[in-house]
Amino acid sequence: MVAATALIVSACGSNTTTSASSASTTLEASTTGTPVTASMRTKRYCEVLLLQVVNGQADAEVYNSFPLNECPAELWTKLDAKAIATAEGVSLAVLNGPRFWLMDRVEKEGGTAGLPKKDFGGIEMYRQASVAVGPLVDAAKPYTPHEVSRSTVFTFDAGQTVYELTAPDGTTYLMQTWSQQKDPTLSEADLSGLAGHLQLPAGWTYRTRTLEEPLRVVTTTTAAKVLQDDLGNSYSQLAAS
């Protein structure tokens, strides 16, 4: 169940989902919704998901440490999911992280003003999303896209290296965060050679490229389509060119 839920919530930037989503959920680059100057690329964060499960159907409130802090390892490793679930009165708590951003900026309507905040073992987090998870069994499938309503723009700057999956039908998915949950040693330096470590389905390919101009993933008026690979790294679908 925990593995399934962690896969659900790597959407990055979502408010709610219309179906189960692969997730890190949401993030904020500023308190006003405008982009910040400094790049957030490689910034570390983590999440705590508070789930209520009724008749096999799950709903989650997702708390995210960004931009409040970078999820200090000495505090994160001491968190007890069962104790958190008991304290919060929920069916299940899931610890999702650490993860690292790959975009340079995020624009999000509304910013962080007014968002509920909790302290988990000394790590402050904003409630960044409410996710309709649905059946947990359906969420534990890598390379399966899910729709996420997040009203954001992700910007990857010119000159940055990006990492992409391409499905057999030509649909391309851009990595938005990498995860150290399954491979605690995984770093950005490893991402260029990741193809040799992934269990890619038949017909799928993985590639690395350097951007010649800024790349924007705009999901302000349409749902994002997000998936994870089998190492837990998350990707957003790029619009067809």
- The string of pLDDT tens digits covering residues 117-154 is 999 999 999 987 777 677 777 666 899 887 776 778 99
- pLDDT for position 36: 45
* Cα angle 8-78-111, degrees, rounded to a multiple of 5: 50
User: Burial code of 59-69, b = ≥16 C-beta within 10 A, e = fewer?
Assistant: bbbbbbbbbbe
* Candidate ranges 11-25, 203-217, 219-233; pick with highest mean pLDDT: 203-217
**H/E segment holding residue 5:** helix 2-8
The domain locations on the chain are 2-237
Residue 6 tokens read as 């962690």
pTM here is 0.80
pLDDT tens for 47-63 read 999 999 888 888 888 89
Tell which residue, 148, 151, 152, has the closest CA to residue 18: 148
Cβ neighbour number for residue 47 with a 10 Å cutoff: 29
Task: Say how far apart CA 119 and CA 194 lie, in whole Å.
Answer: 35
When comparing pLDDT for 110 and 68, which is higher?
68
Q: Are 201 and 140 in contact (CB under 8 A)?
A: no
Whether the bond between 98 and the residue before it is cis, its omega within 30 degrees of 0, is yes
Residue 11 has pLDDT above 60, yes or no: no
- pLDDT for position 29: 36
Residue 4 has pLDDT above 60, yes or no: no
**H/E segment holding residue 67:** none
